[in-house]
Amino acid sequence: MLTEIRYFLSDVVYWVRTHLLASALGALVVAAAVVGIVLLVGGGDDDGTGEAPAPRVLVREVEAPERAEDLGFPAFATKNTTRVAGPDPIANAAAVALAAYPSTGGVEGPDAVTIVDVEQWQAGIAAASLVADPVGAPILFSQDGELPELTENAIAALAPAGSPDTDGRQIFAVGAAARPDGFDTAELEGGNPAALAAEIERLRAQLTGPPQHIVVTTSADPAIAMPAAGWAARSGDPILFVDEGGVPEATAKALGRNKNVPVYVLGDRKTIPSEVMDEIKKIARTVERIGAEDPVENAIEFARAASGSFGWNINDPGHGFVIVNAERPGDAAAAAPLSAGGSWGPLLVTTEAGRLPDPLRGYLLDLKPGYETDPTRAVYNHVWLIGDDEAISVNVQAQIDDLAEVAPVRSGAG
């Protein structure tokens, strides 16, 4: 039996070091119903060059699976879905970073990596703007002032080297995040979520110039704020925070530095009251609200939104999507690189692990791709699912796969 195996990543074969995932996920295995199984594992010790060792391919003899579910499908992947099946944001961030930046086969890794404390979900969401090009820094997590082994080994595999686009910095350490030794690190500090977000906005502007747009959202309700991470990773637009009490000083100053930049407020009137909107309008010249009270509908409205050059405008088939559980805000930051490359998709949320919410079902059905005569000439949808079965069940994954599947279109009757 393949009792030690946990299935992780990719509809093709991404390599991830076995020791990278051992503490949380077990070995990464691409299984087949045969006795010989190919394991993709990490290389040996550093060879003194300072570069992360290349992966080695070993063949291990294991017992052939006796049941279909031992193969890991459909939890591993289906035709139209891929799951990053970590049990927590730390594992998911490491896996996504290595999927977005395989860093092997002569392909260079990212210039920098952003480290955020796993408990500071607001900082993680705001740091998503550093994922966007040209900075391109995926997000990894520290915990309790230390770097988990998963994070340490991900940094070693990614081997950030710095570049002019990162001002030579290899690490961006945000807030309470642990600082790894031996790297040129930019430290971003702030006493509250709004201050940390403003520091991230300032850094992004220093590296890339003034933003085209700004997203303002709530620091009090992660389920509402999470979709902003995907867009920030896609666009580089900074994220700033408000709360029910008003506009924090750090946010007001950041808006003042960019008073001619259009502001888009993500959140309904209950989460971000009209009085707070009025405060924002006193600073920014152009302010527009997008959002809904229900977190699922809020994410869908943000995915559909379009205003000039701002917004996903995902209202037709042929796109990527990322779905996370609204109760796991760290997964929004972890998944950000998936919105900044590959199939470039908005971040959507579900509020239940075992049931697909009706609004999300309706949205995916509305965007279901079709063809009249030749499916090979059709457009396709692809959905990334973030988290293990406790976050999004296999049954829900199967339903999402069916909704994403390209289907024949009947043109007229008779």
Query: Distance (Å, rounded) from C-alpha 41 to C-alpha 26?
Result: 12
The pLDDT assigned to 144 comes to 96
Are the C-beta atoms of 248 and 194 separated by less than 8 Å?
yes
Helix H, strand E, coil C: the string for 267-326 is: CCCCCCCHHHHHHHHHHCCCEEEECCCCHHHHHHHHHHCCECCECCCCCCCCCEEEEEEC
CA distance 164 to 242: 32
Query: What's the first-to-final CA gap in the chain, in angstroms?
Result: 53
pLDDT at position 27: 32
Q: Is residue 190 within a helix (H) or strand (E), and if so which, with residue range?
A: none
- State the burial class of residue 399 (Cβ atoms within 10 Å of its Cβ: 0-12, 13-18, 19+): middle
∠194-292-201 over CA atoms, to 5°? 25
Run of H or E residues at 250: helix 249-257
Longest dimension (CA), the chain: 72
Per-10-residue mean pLDDT of the chain, 414 residues long, equals 36 36 35 30 45 44 57 83 96 96 90 98 98 98 97 96 98 97 97 98 98 98 98 98 94 97 97 96 97 98 97 98 98 98 96 97 98 94 97 97 94 53
CA pair distance 88, 74, nearest whole angstrom: 20
Task: Write down the pLDDT at residue 33.
Answer: 29
| pLDDT the model gives residue 387 | 97
Predicted confidence at residue 31, as pLDDT, reads 33
Tell me the pTM. Answer: 0.85
Q: Is 19 helix (H, G, I), strand (E, B) or coil?
A: helix
pLDDT at residue 20, as a whole number: 40
Please state, as a whole number, how many other Cβ atoms lie within 10 Å of the Cβ of residue 73.
13
Cβ neighbours for 174, distance < 8 A, ≥ 6 positions apart = 114, 115, 116, 117, 120, 123, 127, 188, 196, 199, 200
Element (H, E) at 117: strand 113-117
Distance CA 356, CA 343 (A): 22
